Amino acid sequence: MPLFGAHLSIAGGYHKAAEAAAALKMDCVQIFTKNNNQWRAKPITEEDVSLFREAVEGAGLSYPCAHTSYLLNPAAPDDELWHKSIDGLIVELERAEQLGLAGLVLHPGSPKDRGEEFGLDRITQCLDRVLAKADSEVPIWLEATAGQGSHLGHRFEQLGELLKRSARPKRLAVCIDTCHIFAAGYPIADETDYEQTIAELDHHVGLSNVAAFHLNDSKKELGSRVDRHEHIGQGKIGREGFRNVVTDSRFDSLPMYLETPKGQREKDDKDWDAVNLGLLRRLKPRAR
């Protein structure tokens, strides 16, 4: 079986996320290393690092990772934003290094109206500069996107091309988000469709380059190119799609992080991470 976890809050300190993961008997955890909607970042102290690493070790967590700020746009045609994204990504990689993280998840970005080829080239240049300059060995995990607007990364061909063009491909890998690939047009609920989708992933990206999964159901239909997460089994993918993913022996021991809603609904006091994790853990391979 894969390793199950979730994206958890760092409110009160990074160690709080690890402690919350331990309380839910998670195997892994994803965090932000800073406020995800601000460019500025409060320095990480030695105490922050010590408490977090001790909490991760104490909980027996594997593959603690971080998601980058949503402000970053490695494909930006605007030079000011592009250079700001380079600097911001360097900071996030170095923060991930301080905390001892296994990976840093990054959305490839949007070239706006400049087109795919411009965007792929822009992303490649950004990543090459960042990986050459950052004082960090943490790999960047390029996330498959839903393809909203002009965002790249919604086709496996695009992700594979970014790996191919990189001057440092061993520092890159891919994170597959189930909601995103479904919204981008890759079916995973039917077993035959799922196998075809994974075959395409293997052909264009290579399964050895898949480092992690985000497990999210989708509020929107297949091919909608709209990124709206739903609880496991309550969206358009359904339980069978997740059965296909989490019982696939090719992904054994990979970290899989929930990014499902946290109970923001009015009067909703359920611990949705516990509910979703419980469902995933109960899924068994189909009888042959």
pLDDT per 10-residue tile (average), the chain, 288 residues: 96 97 97 95 96 98 97 98 98 98 98 97 98 98 97 98 98 98 97 98 98 98 98 97 98 97 61 95 83
Which residues have a Cβ under 8 Å from the Cβ of 46 and sit 6 or more positions away? none
Tokens of 240: 């069978």
* Residues 243 and 215 sit within 8 Å (Cβ to Cβ): no
Q: Do residues 144 and 154 touch, judged by C-beta distance below 8 A?
A: yes
Instruction: Name the amino acid, one letter, at 252.
Output: D
| Residue 250 backbone phi and psi in degrees, to 5 | -65, -20
State residue 288's pLDDT score: 56
Question: Which residues lie across from 286 on neighbouring strands?
Answer: none
What is the number of other CB atoms lying within 10 angstroms of the CB of residue 19?
19
Q: Name the binding residues for Zn(2+).
A: 67, 107, 143, 177, 180, 214, 227, 229, 259
Q: Enter the pTM of the model.
A: 0.96
Q: What is the pLDDT of residue 202?
A: 98
The pLDDT assigned to 83 comes to 98
- pLDDT reported for residue 262: 83
Proportion of the chain above pLDDT 90, given as a percent: 94
pLDDT by residue (tens digit) across 166-219? 999 999 999 999 999 999 999 999 999 999 999 999 999 999 999 999 999 999
**106, β-bridge pairs:** 142
Q: Read off the amino acid at residue 5.
A: G
3-282: CATH topology is: TIM Barrel (3.20.20)
- Residue 266: the pLDDT is 45
Residues marked as binding?
67, 107, 143, 177, 180, 214, 227, 229, 259
Q: CB-side exposure of 90: number of CA atoms within 13 Å?
A: 15
H/E segment holding residue 282: helix 272-282
